[in-house]
């Protein structure tokens, strides 16, 4: 497969798309005389530029309805303002097709936008208006390195909104907080900043998702509420001096008096607001549309897939075929690998404990017999991924070469728990070094995707999500927000697949008998609903053997998709998706409420004129109490068929079509 290929077509007689440029030039006084407007390709979204009281901003409307304003947009670099005044404007319209290396939603993405390049004080403001988003970035041309001391914007919704955002207690966070759902005023009362992506929900299912992409050599964007009902940018401070804390953390001893020290001539990150409804959040591809091209010329070795993972279940298989002492040893991991091979699962992870010392990435514990294990895995077609704390990686950057020589296929790097400029640069240094030796990377204890995964698609997933490893802290009423917010911006390593299922009020579980909230079918449907380039099977092989029909379904669900169709959805309530990989369709539905729900959908995503056998896993009649109760339904369907999806509280629906 090639990099993110961008194929430009001539737009002619409805067959060919045209990339054309329309130039408009005016001086700053023209803004006062006649507003400058940039419209989306379909004409529905309008951005009207303005400069008021020396501040740069714009107003965004859709079909004539005012949605929000961006105010006081600008930066300060080398003690000089960027923004504040605006001059000449050049517009161009672009249509193209993008082919992502790791297609989480679609293998062919139509990318149409209107771009305006606006000369501003000490730089250029680039504005893109898509049919479902508005994005901007600054470009500067200062000499040498500069200190960035301000990077500001204020987003003011034009209507009352409910905010859905993660709010850590401080800058040191794994980004695994639950979503808060409250007004801007109530958010302000709490006094905490919020992470991006953040979602604002308005009347008539208006959804505004705020995020960023193409982040380089700069801190990750955060948000905070203002006193007057708006939302403004916020950033973690740059560490001037830091020191290790244990084997996987660090303490900032002294903060720098700037946000970042970076090259003065550069492009800064894209900040975007996606404008859509609940269904549109699940199918939009704005981060991919704004992303930079892949910097890898050969991506043929990048193989997304599923992973058998031992940490969640305590690495303690207990079936009749288990005659060995389980633990961090060869026999246990060979058992996991054999399970993976049987069901066609591509990888296993060796999590914490495989090494004799977490600070030493080269010395396995004696019981692992790591060379023998890697050899066994290679012989049965299962790749080995090794877990490491980030500080060990930082101290041993040469380990990627060694691991490639060992026959390891990837690394899971954990506990970064920061997103200042230094840590953002650590991610890039790691992924570049891993790519040299054709190793995959899964970041845990990580901030949310911000574009690096497109430049280096061997970055196969991030955590940055309140996932199943939280056990009793992972209720369905939080998980239901993940496809609308966290997965809307990129891969999320949620680690689904628990077979010990309980309704929230009955939850009582701990390793090695770990449990998952929600029904059995809720867990199964997550493999269709959630997106990750490495999708975990978190439970014990023994439990999967005991539930062979469920396991075969989970193992059959791909992790990349050629097409995604949203059949129905409501933020914070339910989601129903159909996805296609090649000629095969899968369908999943989840809901995160305490009430039973029935949703009627038409199967018109299927090719017309053909019959299909639908095999569906549905919540059993007792699933509202015994969450492991499910039934299998098989029936012949066509594109004209309508079905009722009946979900128990915190339930789901999972189907395949042959």
| Calpha distance 301→541 (Å, rounded) | 27
Determine the pLDDT at residue 54: 74
Mean pLDDT, consecutive 10-residue segments, the chain of 658 residues? 39 34 40 75 96 85 97 96 90 97 98 97 97 98 97 98 97 96 96 97 98 98 97 96 90 93 98 98 98 97 98 96 97 98 98 97 98 98 98 98 98 97 98 98 97 98 97 97 98 98 97 97 98 98 98 98 98 98 98 96 97 98 98 98 98 97
What are the phi and psi torsion angles at 321 (to 5°)?
-90, 5
Q: Is the separation of the CB atoms in 602 and 642 below 8 Å?
A: yes
CATH superfamily of 495-529+547-658: Golgi alpha-mannosidase II (2.60.40.1180)
Per residue in 231-263, pLDDT (tens digit) is 999 999 999 998 898 999 888 899 999 999 999
540, 530 contact by CB (below 8 A): no
The residues, any chain, with a CB within 8 Å of residue 549's CB and separated by 6 or more, are: 632
Q: Would you say the CATH fold of 162-201+219-258+294-472+533-540 matches that of 5-144+262-273+284-290?
A: no
Fold for domain 162-201+219-258+294-472+533-540?
Answer: TIM Barrel (3.20.20)
pLDDT of residue 250: 86
8 Å CB contact between 35 and 48: yes
pLDDT digits (tens, 9 = 90+) for 614-631: 999 999 999 999 999 999
Query: Which sequence spans correspond to the domains of the chain?
Result: 5-144+262-273+284-290, 162-201+219-258+294-472+533-540, 495-529+547-658
Topology of the domain covering 5-144+262-273+284-290: Beta-galactosidase; Chain A, domain 5 (2.70.98)
Q: What is d(CA 521, CA 532) in angstroms, rounded to the nearest whole number?
A: 19
From the centroid of its chain, how far is CA 430? 19
463's tokens: 């955590």
Q: Which residues of 237-273 are buried (b: 16+ CB within 10 A; e: fewer)?
A: bbbeebeeeeebbbebeeebebbbebebebebbbbbb
Residue-level pLDDT at 251: 85
């Amino acid at each position: 497969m090639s990099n993110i290929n961008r194929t430009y077509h001539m737009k002619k007689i409805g067959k060919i798309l045209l990339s054309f440029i329309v130039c408009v030039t005016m001086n700053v006084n023209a803004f006062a005389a006649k507003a400058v407007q940039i419209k989306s390709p379909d004409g529905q979204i309008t951005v009207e530029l303005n400069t008021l009281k020396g501040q740069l901003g714009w107003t965004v409307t859709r079909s004539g309805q005012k949605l929000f304003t961006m105010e006081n947009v600008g930066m300060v670099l080398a003690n000089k303002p960027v923004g504040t005044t605006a001059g000449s404007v050049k517009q161009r319209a672009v249509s193209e097709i993008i082919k992502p290396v790791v297609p989480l939603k679609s293998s062919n993405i139509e990318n149409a936008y209107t771009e305006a390049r606006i000369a501003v004080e000490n730089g250029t403001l680039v504005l893109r208006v898509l049919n479902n988003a508005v994005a901007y970035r600054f470009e500067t041309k200062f000499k040498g390195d500069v200190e960035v001391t301000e990077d500001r914007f204020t987003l003011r919704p034009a209507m009352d909104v409910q905010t859905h955002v993660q709010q850590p207690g401080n800058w040191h966070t794994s980004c695994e907080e639950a979503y808060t759902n409250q007004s801007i005023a109530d958010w302000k009362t709490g006094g905490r900043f919020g992470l991006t992506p953040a979602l604002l929900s308005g009347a008539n299912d208006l959804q505004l998702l705020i995020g960023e992409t193409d982040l380089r050599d700069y801190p990750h964007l955060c948000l905070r509420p203002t006193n007057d009902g708006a939302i403004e940018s916020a950033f973690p401070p740059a560490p001037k001096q830091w020191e290790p804390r244990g084997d996987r953390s660090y303490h900032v001893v002294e903060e720098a008096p700037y946000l970042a020290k970076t090259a003065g001539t550069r492009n800064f990150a894209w900040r975007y607001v996606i404008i859509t409804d609940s269904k549109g959040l699940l199918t939009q591809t704005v981060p991919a549309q704004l992303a930079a091209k892949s910097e890898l010329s050969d991506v043929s070795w990048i193989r997304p897939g599923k992973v058998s993972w031992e940490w969640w279940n305590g690495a303690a298989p207990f079936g009749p075929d288990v005659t060995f002492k389980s633990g961090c040893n060869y026999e246990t991991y060979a058992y996991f690998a054999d399970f993976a091979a049987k069901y066609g699962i591509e990888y296993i992870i060796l999590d914490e404990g495989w090494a004799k010392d977490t600070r030493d990435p080269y010395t396995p514990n004696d019981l692992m017999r790591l060379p023998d294990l890697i050899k066994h895995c290679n012989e049965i077609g299962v790749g080995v991924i090794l877990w490491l704390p980030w500080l060990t990686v930082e101290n041993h950057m040469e380990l990627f070469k060694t691991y490639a020589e060992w026959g390891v296929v990837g690394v899971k790097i954990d506990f970064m728990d920061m997103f200042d400029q230094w840590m953002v640069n650590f991610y890039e240094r790691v992924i570049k070094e891993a790519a040299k030796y054709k190793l995959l990377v899964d970041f845990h204890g990580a901030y949310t995707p911000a574009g690096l995964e497109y430049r280096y698609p061997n970055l196969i997933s991030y955590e940055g999500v309140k996932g199943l490893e939280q056990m009793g802290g992972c209720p369905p009423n939080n998980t239901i927000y993940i496809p609308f917010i966290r997965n809307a911006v990129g891969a999320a390593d949620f680690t689904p697949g628990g077979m010990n299922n309980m309704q929230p009020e009955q939850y009582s579980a701990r390793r090695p008998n770990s449990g998952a909230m929600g029904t059995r079918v809720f867990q199964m449907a997550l493999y269709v609903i959630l997106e990750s380039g490495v999708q975990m099977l978190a439970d014990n092989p023994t439990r999967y053997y005991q539930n062979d029909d469920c396991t075969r379904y989970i193992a059959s669900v791909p992790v990349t998709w050629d097409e995604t169709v949203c059949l129905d959805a409501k933020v914070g309530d339910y989601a129903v998706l159909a996805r296609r990989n090649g000629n095969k369709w899968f369908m999943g539905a989840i809901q995160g409420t305490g009430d039973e729900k029935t949703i009627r959908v038409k199967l018109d995503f299927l090719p017309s004129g053909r019959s299909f056998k639908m095999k569906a896993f549905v919540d059993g009649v007792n699933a509202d109490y015994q969450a492991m109760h499910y039934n299998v339904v098989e029936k012949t369907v066509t594109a004209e068929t309508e079905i009722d999806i009946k979900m128990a509280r915190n339930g789901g629906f999972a189907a395949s079509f042959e």
